[in-house]
């Protein structure tokens, strides 16, 4: 297996409401992986959409632990909540660790996605997500958008091709 | 710093060094962002309530064990400090 860094985005001063990789060629490799280190004012979620598609074409099953409770959730939504963002109410200057893997991104079939996330907080409350998600559309993935109310400066997102 | 929120877009079809753009959000994107902020606040409240409920359950169990005759140290050893 070869993992090739395609591009890294680093949010600058002033923050950004979303981070987008566009123009993704369909011959980068078999799979894609996005590694996100994020902090934001919009809660713990990074909403992931593909190909600017905001239809109800995303499904998920996930486990979510907060340090005091565990939830098992599933559903169909208009984006995948990757849960990869440390909210600004958490310990200063801490960032999340989030990775999501898109299998067969260029195939003419529905796509499967696996997501692992942890947030960091010097308190009893923090989050871990384990998630299996699906994108029901059959077009090759040519763009990936990660949205929060506002990603803060120094948030980074890296796109890798796996071949 | 711009007053209008922005997005960072990297167009991988362009050569390296020319890919990144900082683009102001459209009104529709701003509206979507506000919905996300509202949902985030709602989720924060749910999380805080879950945390409070868990602590209340723990304390209730502790109180019942003490009422049965255990010392506080013994009860804490059972439920975790």
- Using CA atoms, how far apart are residues A50 and A137, in angstroms rounded to an integer? 9
pLDDT at A149 over 80: no
Count, in order, helices (H) and strands (E) of chain A. Answer: 0, 14
Q: Which residue of B has its CA nearest to A18?
A: B7
Residue A14: C-alpha distances to residues A148, A152, A153, B13 (Å)? 14, 7, 7, 26
Task: Give the tens place of pLDDT for each residue, A32-46.
Answer: 999 999 999 877 788
Q: Which residue of B has its CA nearest to A28?
A: B12
For every residue of A81-143, DSSP letters joined together read E----EETTSSTT---EEEEEETTTTSSS-EEEEEEEE---SSS---EEEEEEEE---SPP--
Task: Give the tens place of pLDDT for each residue, B24-63.
Answer: 998 988 887 787 777 767 777 877 787 788 889 889 999 9
Q: Do B12 and A41 touch (CB under 8 A)?
A: no
- Using CA atoms, how far apart are residues B37 and B40, in angstroms rounded to an integer? 5
Chain A residues in contact with B44 (beta carbon < 8 A): 43, 87, 89
pTM of the model: 0.82
Q: Where are the alpha helices (DSSP H) in chain B?
A: 27-67, 72-79
ipTM of the complex, rounded to two decimals: 0.87
Task: Give the tens place of pLDDT for each residue, A17-26.
Answer: 999 999 999 9
- Strands A39-40 and A86-87 come out as parallel
């Amino acid at each position: 297996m070869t993992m090739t860094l395609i591009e890294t985005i680093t949010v600058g001063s002033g923050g950004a409401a979303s981070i987008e990789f566009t123009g993704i060629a369909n011959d980068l490799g078999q799979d894609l992986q996005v590694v996100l280190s994020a902090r934001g004012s919009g809660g713990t979620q990074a909403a992931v959409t593909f190909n600017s598609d905001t239809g109800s074409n995303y499904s998920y099953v996930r486990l979510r632990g907060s340090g005091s409770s565990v939830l098992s959730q599933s559903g169909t939504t208009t984006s995948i909540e990757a849960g990869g963002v440390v909210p600004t109410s958490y310990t200063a200057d801490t960032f999340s660790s989030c990775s999501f893997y898109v299998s067969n991104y260029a195939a003419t079939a529905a796509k499967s996605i696996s997501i692992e996330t942890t947030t960091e907080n010097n308190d009893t409350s923090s989050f871990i997500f384990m998630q299996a998600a699906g994108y029901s559309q059959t077009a090759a993935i040519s763009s990936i958008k990660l949205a929060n109310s506002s990603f803060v400066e120094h948030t980074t997102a890296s796109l890798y091709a796996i071949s | 710093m711009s007053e209008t929120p922005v997005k960072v877009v990297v167009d991988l079809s362009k050569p390296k060094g020319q890919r990144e753009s900082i683009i102001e959000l459209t009104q529709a994107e701003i509206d979507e962002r506000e919905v996300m902020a509202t949902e985030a606040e709602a989720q924060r409240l749910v999380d805080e309530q879950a945390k409070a409920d868990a602590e209340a359950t723990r304390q209730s169990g502790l109180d019942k064990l003490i009422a049965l005759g255990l010392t506080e140290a013994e009860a804490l050893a059972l439920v975790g400090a």
